Amino acid sequence: MIDPNQLAGDKEKLGEILAREEFQEVERQGKSWLDIILEKILDTISRLLLSADVSPGTAGVLSWVIIMAAIIGIIALLVMWGRRMVRRSRRENPLLVYDERIRTYADYIREAKERGNQGDWREGMRFSFLALLSYMQERSWVHIETWKTNWEYLDELRERKPEWESFFRSHARLFEQVWYGRVALEPAMFWETVNELERRLDGEGAHD
């Protein structure tokens, strides 16, 4: 028979795993849905093992196998949910407005600064990121399409200009947080980002 104390310890350890940053919890009625799922999983394991004629050691292994399988399932669900939310956000907040003409990267930099001077940090970030995409398209590193994701641009860039991958990744991550995630952007961060981008595109990037 399985030791109930062992199950309690397993639950505590699993709770510590799910409390990490990558397992963001959604609160519901004072409990996260992960807590609710976890309790159901452990209750099921407890019922199965208490009724089975297995040694404590075997029961412990079985319980952890089931728990780890459940964690993998939860991660898969989180990934699918996250992708669904990203797709929905992209539909509601497209990077390119319908029929918007692609301009030069210098035009986008100027527009980003103008929006920054108006305090429109979110729209300014959009123009800042468009400046980067436009610059890369001008050099045939990527081809801008309304349906492409940033990670598809990253794949193109990795094939043609891998040394720019880290730079693009950092700007794409910040853009997505601000544009799709609507994360508040501090003015200092906005200007640091735009100025860094301008230096890279007008300076060393011009010689690549």
Q: pLDDT tens-digit profile of 31-59?
A: 555 566 666 666 666 666 565 555 555 65
pTM of the model: 0.57
Tokens of 38: 């976890």
Query: For residue 28, which phi and psi values (nearest 5 degrees)?
Result: -150, 115
> What confidence tens digit (pLDDT) does each residue in 52-71 have?
555 555 656 666 666 666 66
Give the tens place of pLDDT for each residue, 155-197. 999 999 999 999 999 999 999 999 888 888 999 999 999 999 9
User: Dihedral of CA 176/101/118/131: which sign?
Assistant: positive
* Phi (first) and psi of residue 94, to 5 degrees: -65, 145
- Beta-bridged to residue 32, according to DSSP, are 27
Beta bridge partners of 27: 32
Query: Treating both helix axes as pointing N-terminal to C-terminal, what angle do 187-202 and 121-138 enclose, rounded to 10 degrees?
Result: 10
Between 63-67, 101-105, 130-134, the lowest mean confidence (pLDDT) is in 63-67
Please write down the HEC assignment for all residues of 54-100: CCHHHHHHHHHHHHHHHHHHHHHHHHHHHHHHHHHHHHHCCCCCCCC
Dihedral sign, CA of 196, 201, 207, 208? positive
Residue with tokens 């849905």: 33
> From CA 11, how far away is CA 5, in angstroms rounded?
10
